[in-house]
Amino acid sequence: MSTPSKPSVLVVDDKENMRKLFSRILGDAYAVTEAADGEQAIAQLSSRAFDVVVTDIQMPGADGFAVLREVKHRAPETQVILVTAYASIPKAVEAIKEGAYDYLSKPFDPDEVALVVARALEKRRQGHEATNLKARLAVAPELHGLLGGSAAMHALHGLLSQVATRDLTVLLTGETGTGKELAARAVHRESPRAAKPFVAVNCGALPAELVESELFGHAKGAFTGATAAKPGLFEEAHGGTLFLDEIGDLPLPVQVKLNRALQEKEVRRVGTTTAVKVDVRVVAATHRDLSAEVSAGRFREDLYYRLNVVTVQLPPLRERREDIPLLAMHFLSRAGRPEVEGFTAEALRALAAHDWPGNVRQLENAVARAVAVTKGPRITPEDLPPEINTTRAAATGATAPGVRATSDSLAKLPYREAVDGARDAVSREYLSALMQEFGGNVTHAAERAGMERESLHRLLKRYGVRSEDFKRSE
């Protein structure tokens, strides 16, 4: 088995002792290449790409700014960290405005170096993942809005396309939010009836006293308020497709008339005895178990068998988790905030761990909420609805009140993601306990942790632990 290659770091400094120091600090985790000045660095950059570049600002000839500009020209995803003396910090801040990731001020702590490089690498990885997600989204299998490259969605696309060519009644089943109306529209658009009307109605949303009139139409004066004759939805859909959503909610008397309309291919408007011929393909949908509804006497058996010519089951989102990142990026792209570039790795792990009882519709709403509240270029777990973070806490073992990791919840994540999530949860718990112990005093806490104060500050910021939340009142 081949060993995974280490991330690559280019260290640029005109002082050999500084280059060797960085190599000692980073050499175990990274493949470090050295350059003795800006010209050597630019030559290296012209022949290969690096994950991270660590460069001194003050060098003879081409300085750190020249290296930064070359990196941004050749490999924009490569992260650049500037190294500067304290007096030159304003220059480092200027470099960050030009695209550098961060800076290190001399003298620096080895832990701080390792942390900043690790965070820069994580940002590069997230940028790479976002680019890959966008590329995958551009070529993702899609059938008239039904998006997904999982095996379950491949099978669904194939079945819907095949069924669409046959002029048969279709019954779509599946949980709420799985995309049954999109599937119905796909059947219509893939069928010979595509140029004719597609008419959709939610049977559960119609008042019981108006269902028959809406479906079959009515004559003038048929009931109070019927001031003019009105065709029903069957007539509106003539030549095309009528989508009857939540058909399990139809009242029993209307089920009798619907069964007859499907059998005879004609309808009678309320208040008349004249039949009107209709050429309509019916696609019905329900989240209910219609066979159980038949046994309970709430759905007519004859109508059930008439509708159940071809049944298509839509998979719940939890059974096609590999589609979640693609769908999340798809909804993000439609959200109208181009400055929000994507999701952090933690946010994607949180989305993938959730069971999504509301399925794709719930995911769309969660992304819309996150886009609305996020303040940065990437959506973080804190931007997601609370119930999603609760799921991830359970899956990774975070110590939310009353939450414990179980084998079932952990098994919902790939091994690496579960371990990464557990590590993050332990780090956050440790930092919170440290701040609690020292009442938010970062200096004393850093001494206990065995690191420099600035290094601890960076960890607190990374894991969202606010020292001021732990300060004790005098």
Domain with CATH 3.40.50.2300 in the chain: 8-138
User: Is the model's pLDDT at 372 over the cut of 80?
Assistant: yes
More confident residue, 244 or 472: 244
Architecture of the CATH domain 414-474: Orthogonal Bundle (1.10)
Q: What is the structure's pLDDT at 398?
A: 45
pLDDT per residue over 275-324, tens digit each?
999 999 999 999 999 999 999 999 999 999 999 999 999 999 999 998 99
Contacts 24+ apart (CB under 8 A), 295-299: 298/248, 298/252, 299/248, 299/252, 299/255
Alpha carbon of 92 to those of 65, 98, 102, 439: distances in Å?
9, 10, 8, 33
Tokens standing for 437? Answer: 């112990």
Considering Cα of 17, then 18, then 19, then 24, what sign does the dihedral take?
positive
324-408: which CATH topology?
Helicase, Ruva Protein; domain 3 (1.10.8)
Q: How confident is the model at residue 266 (pLDDT cuts 50, 70, 90)?
A: very high
Phi, psi of 206, deg, nearest 5: -85, 135
Q: Any long-range contacts for 360-367 (C-beta under 8 Å, 24+ apart)? A: 360/177, 360/178, 360/179, 360/317, 360/327, 361/176, 361/177, 362/177, 363/317, 363/324, 363/327, 363/328, 363/331, 364/327, 364/331, 367/328, 367/331, 367/332, 367/335
pTM of the predicted model over 0.85: no
Per-residue confidence (pLDDT) for residue 1, from 0 to 100: 42
Rounded to an integer, the average pLDDT of 381-401 is 64
CATH 3.40.50.2300 fits 8-138, yes or no: yes
Distance between CA 257 and CA 302 in Å, rounded?
Answer: 12
Task: Write out the residue limits of the CATH 1.10.10 domain(s) in the chain.
Answer: 414-474
CATH topology of domain 146-315: Rossmann fold (3.40.50)
Which range, 20-29, 97-106, 238-247, has the best average confidence (pLDDT)?
A: 238-247
pLDDT tens per residue across span 201-256: 999 888 878 888 999 988 888 787 777 888 999 999 999 999 999 999 999 999 99
